[in-house]
Structure 1
C-alpha cells in the first residue's frame, strides 16, 4: 500500500443517515479512508451501507458508532438500553456485561465493528453537562469494575471497544462540543483520580479515545487531544500504552481549525482522526506535512500497524451474512424490563399508599409530555391526573435532564428552579422523579416527601417508576453518586 493510501486510512469521516450521501462516502472509500463513524439510520439502512462500502474498498473498513446505550440509541428498530449510571445503581456488574453483549450482538449483525464505549470518566462534577449519566459512578472502583464487565461483554462477540475520554472528562463543567473545558488539578491529583480507571483498563482496551480538554498542570498550551506531552509522554511512554489512540470528533468546537488540529493530533501521537468536517482538507494537509518531512513513513506505518491489529481482532474477512432477527429481540426488551426494578433508586422513600389525586408537572414541560408512559401507567393503576393543582393530594414533579451534545446545560436551570420552588411552597405532598440526572435532587431532598431516580426515560423504566409509587413494585437500586441534600 502506497503512502497516500496509508495516510487516508488515518481518517474516519462521519456518515449521518438522512444527511450524508452514499456517493460521497464511496468517493471517500476510493480515497482510502480507514472507516466511518455512523449516526442514525434504520436496521436496513445501516446494513446496506456497511455492505456496500465494504464491497468497494480494497482494504478492510472499520465501522464505528457511539452505541453507549445500545444500538437503539441511534438505529431505529434496534434495542434501546439504559445509561451506565442506571446499570451501576443495580450494584450488579453482570448487568454491564449483558448490556454490552446485547449491544455487540446487534452491532455485529449490522456490520458495525467498533463501539465507542465504555465511558470511564468519573462523575464527580454535578454540573458536568456532557458526562453525567454516561459515567457509571463518582467512585473510582465502581467505574473500573463496571467498565471491565462491559468490555468483557463486547469481547464475547469480538466487537472492538474504545475507553473514553482519556485523561478523564468527569470533572469539567462545560460541554466540549461547544468550548474547551479546563481542569485545574496538579499531576498528583490526576494520577490518583482521573487516570486510575484508564490505568486499570489499559490491558483490556482495544483503544483509548482522547478528550478535547485542557489540563493546565500537564500542558498549558494544548488540549489533551493535541498534546504530545499527554498522548506520547504520559500515555505512550509512562503508561506504556501501545494500542490505538483515537481523537474525539474533530468537528467539536473545543478545538479550532480542525484541519490543522487533525495534523497536530497525529503528530502528538493519535492514530485515528475522527469526524473531520472536511476529510479531504485534512487528507491534503497530512500529505503536505508528509512531503515536507514532518510526518514520516515510520509514524504512519506504526499507526497502520495498530489499526491492522483491530482488523485482525474483528477478523473482517469473515463478514458473513448475519441473522437480523436478533435485532430488537423480545428477549432484550424483557431484559430491560426485568432490570428496571434493580436499577431505579429511592432518593427519599415515600410512605405508601399514595393518595389518588395527582397533579403532574414536568420541568421544561413541552406540549407533549415526555412522561407519557409514566402518566398512562399511573392512570392504569387507578390514579386520577388532575389539571388543577388545588384539586390534588399529591404533586409529582418530573425531570428529564440528561447529557446532550451542544446543549451546554444539565440539571435544573434558574427558570426550572423557580417553578419547582413555587410548587414546593404550595404545602402539598411532593414526589420528585428524575428520568435522567440524579443531580437534579441537589438541595431538594429535605424539601420533598419522596424522590425516585430512574437514570433513564425509556418506556420500561417509566412504567416501573409508576408501579413503585403505587407500592406494587419494589425498587432496589442504590445511588452510585453522592447527592448534596
Structure 2
C-alpha cells in the first residue's frame, strides 16, 4: 500500500484539483477484465479519487437492475476482491477509502463469503439487541478481513408500504422505535470493530412503490409526518454519533421549494434539513449516481456530479464522469466549500485507517445464525396445539423450491403436474415453501400455476405451511385458511433445522413479524 499518511500536513499539501478528486467514489467490480482494471488504476492515479465502492460485476450493478446482462459467478471472489483492493491501493497516491454494501454480510456482493440474516429477519427478533449488535460486529470483521473500511449500511428506512419493490426485506420493520433500536445496535456492533457505517436512504425510502434504480419515487407526506416517522431514525442515530448518512434518490415535495429536484441533488433537503435543521455535520454520501432516478435526467457529463456536490454530498458514489465532474466542480465551487467536504472525508479516512488488520480471518456465521433462527421463528397463523394435532395425522410433505437456477418453465410445470398427481388423494399436507427469489419482481419468481396450486391445497386440504423466505411473498396465499403458518424468513441450513425442531415440538416460536403483509 502507498506510504503517504493521512495527516493534517498531507492534507495541507493537496492541490485544489487533488482535493476535488478525493470527493469521488467510483464503482469497482471484482469480475472486471484486465483492461477494465487498468482503466480504473489509471483513473485512480490520474485524478486522485478518494475511494472505491465495490460491486460484484457490471452485470449486477444498479443500471442492470432489469437483468438484461448475465451475471458471472466466481468461486474465488473473495481472493480476487482482496487482490484488487491491494492493487488499487498501490495505484493511489493517497490511501483509498474502500466501501461496500454489506447489509447482511459480504455475501450481498461477494459469493462464497459469510451471509447473515436479512434485516427483516433481525426485526422479528423480539428484545434481542445483543444478537443484532453481534451481526454488525461479525460483518465488520469480514470487511476488515477483505480490506474494506466502510460498510454502507444499515438501512433505516421504515417499510410501511408492503408493495415497496426495493426496500422491503432490507428494512428492520414498520415501527420507528423498533427500526431505530435495531439499527443502533447494528451500528454499534460495526463500529466496535472500527469499521465505518452509513445509515440510508435519507430522508426515508420505506413508503414508496417505486424502485429508485429505475424511476423517481415520490414521498407525498407533510413535513410534520416525515419528522414524526421517516426522519425519526436518522435524527436519533445522529444523536448517537453515526459516521455518515447516505441520501437516496427521492422526490419529497414537503421538504423543498423545488419539487422536481430529487433529494440526492437537493440543497434544501441535504444542506437545509439534514445539516442545518437536524444538525448532522458528518460525511454525507450520495446513493449511486448511475441509478436511473437521477442519471437519465442529466445526460451532460459532469452536471450530475456537480449538482450532487453543490447540494451537500461530500462523497459522490458510483460517479461515472470523473474528469468532467472534477472540471465542473472546480469551475463552480468555492474553495471553502471544497475544503469543508474534504475535511469531513479526511477525518473519516483517518479513523478508518486506524483499525486495519490484514491478518484477520473470515467469520463463521453458523452459531449466530442458529440463535437468530430460534429467536425470529414466527407462528403467524394458528396455534402450537394445531401443529401438535396435525403432527399426529398421516400427512404428506410437499417441498416447493427451486433446486437449480437453470430450471426452465417447462421443467417447473412438469414437476408441478407430478406433484399434483401425487397429493390428489391426500387430506393433510405439510408445505415447505421457499420463494424462488428474495426480491418482489415478477411475483417473487413464482409462476402463476404455482400460486394457484398452493392456494388450491390450502382450500381443499388441512395445511400447515412453513415459509422460508421474504414474508411479503405470503401476500399471494390464503394463509388465514391454513391450520398454521410459520414464517422462517431464511432458507439457511440453521433456519431449516430450527423449523424442523419447531414442527416436532421441541422448540417454541418466539418471533414477531415486524411488518404488515396486507
TM-score between both structures, scaled by the size of structure 1: 0.87
Q: Does 1:155 align with 2:191?
A: yes
| Aligned counterpart, 2:326 | 286
Q: Are 1:286 and 1:295, in contact at CA under 8 Å, matched by a contact in 2?
A: no
Structure 1 residues 344-423: aligned runs within 5 Å: 344-348=377-381, 349=383, 350-352=386-388, 353-354=390-391, 355=393, 357-360=395-398, 362=400, 366=402, 368=404, 388-392=422-426, 393-396=428-431, 398-400=433-435, 404=439, 407=441, 417-423=451-457
Matches within 5 A, 1:73-92: 73-91=108-126, 92=128
Q: Secondary structure at the match of 2:246?
A: strand
The whole-number CA distance in structure 1 between the counterparts of 2:516 and 2:485 is 14
1:429 aligns with 2:462: yes
| Preserved contact between residue 435 and residue 446 of structure 2 (Cα < 8 Å) | no
Give the deviation of 1:320 after TM superposition: 5.0
Could you give the per-residue CA deviations for residues 102-128 of structure 1, whole angstroms, max 9, x where no partner exists? 001111111100001111011111111
Q: 2:215 matched to 1:200? A: no
In structure 2, runs of 5+ residues without a counterpart are 1-13, 57-75, 407-418
* Deviation of the 1:217 alpha carbon: 2.1
Query: Do the aligned residues in 2 keep the contact of 1:7 with 1:283 (CA within 8 Å)?
Result: no
Paired residues of 2:131 and 2:368 also in contact (CA < 8 A): no
Q: Distance in 2 between matches of 1:39 and 1:27?
A: 19
- Give the alignment partner of residue 510 of structure 2, picking from 452, 476, 480: 476
Q: Structure 1, residues 97-155: CA drift from partner, whole Å, max 9, x if none?
A: 00001001111111100001111011111111111111111111111111111111011
The offset of 1:449, in angstroms, is 1.6
Aligned residues: 456
CA distance in 1, matches of 2:324, 2:421: 61
Change (3 A) 1:163 1:300: same
> Is the Cα–Cα contact under 8 Å of residues 402 and 436 in structure 2 kept in the other structure?
no
What CA distance in whole angstroms lies between the structure 1 residues aligned with 2:283 and 2:447? 39
**1:337 Cα deviation from its structure 2 partner:** 1.9
In the alignment, structure 1 residue 6 sits paired with structure 2 residue 19: yes
Structure 1 residue 366 displacement after superposition: 4.1
Once residues 254 and 322 of structure 1 are traced to their aligned partners in structure 2, the CA distance between those partners, rounded to angstroms, is 41
Determine the C-alpha separation between the residues in 1 that align with 2:369 and 2:306. Answer: 43
Counterpart in the other structure of 2:55? 39
Kept after mapping to 1: 8 A contact 2:387/2:503: no
Q: Does 1:305 align with 2:321?
A: no
Does the CA-based 8 Å contact 2:246-2:286 persist in structure 1? Answer: yes
SS in 1 for 2:359: coil
Residue in 1 that maps onto 2:65: none
1:112-131 aligned at under 5 Å gives the runs: 112-131=148-167
- Say if 2:28 is the partner of 1:15: yes
Q: Do residues 249 (structure 1) and 288 (structure 2) align? A: yes
Using a 3 Å threshold, how does the CA distance of structure 1 residues 37 and 50 change in structure 2: closer, same or farther? Answer: same
**Structure 1 position 315, deviation (Å):** 2.8
Name the structure 1 match of 2:490. 456
Q: Aligned equivalents of 1:137 and 1:401: distance in 2?
A: 22
Q: How does 1:253-272 map to 2 (within 5 A)?
A: 253-255=292-294, 256=296, 257=298, 259=301, 260-272=303-315
Provide the C-alpha distance between the structure 2 equivalents of 1:448 and 1:367, rounded to a whole number of angstroms.
25
Aligned-residue CA RMSD (Å)? 2.5
Give SS of 2:285's match: strand
**Candidates 125, 130, 135, aligned match of 1:99:** 135
Aligned match of 1:382: none
Match of 1:182, SS state, is coil
Cα gap change, 1:268 to 1:319, in 2 (>3 Å): same
Deviations 1:72-106 (A, max 9, x none): 33334431100112112122011110000100111
Q: Which moved more, 1:430-439 or 1:126-135?
A: 430-439
* Cα 1:475–1:311 shift into 2, 3 Å: same
Q: Contact conserved, 1:69 with 1:82, CA < 8 A, in 2?
A: yes
1:68 shift after superposition = 0.4
- Going from structure 1 to structure 2, the CA distance change for 1:182 and 1:424 (only over 3 Å counts) comes to same
- Equivalent residue, structure 1, for 2:62: none
Partner residue, 2:261: 222
Tell me the residue number matched to 2:213: 177
Q: Match of 1:478, SS?
A: coil
Deviations 1:128-185 (A, max 9, x none): 1111111111111111111111111011111000000100011011211111111111
Partner of 2:204: 168
Report the Cα offset of residue 209 of structure 1. Answer: 0.5
How many Å separate the matches in 1 of 2:443 and 2:272?
A: 34
The answer for the alignment partner of 2:96 in structure 1 is 61
| 1:273 aligned partner | 316
Structure 1 residues 411 and 124: CA distance shift in structure 2, 3 A = farther
Indicate if the aligned counterparts of 2:467 and 2:489 stay in contact, CA closer than 8 A: yes
Alignment partners' CA distance in 2, 1:141 and 1:367: 39
- Which contiguous aligned blocks of 4+ residues in structure 1 show a shift greater than 6 angstroms? 411-415
CA distance in structure 1 between the partners assigned to 2:448 and 2:265 by the alignment: 36
Q: CA deviation at 1:397?
A: 5.5
When normalised by structure 2's length, the TM-score is 0.82
Give unpaired runs (5+ residues) of structure 1. 371-384
| Secondary structure, counterpart of 1:342 in structure 2 | helix
Distance of 1:342 and 1:102 partners within structure 2: 18
The alpha-carbon deviation at position 389 of structure 1 amounts to: 2.1
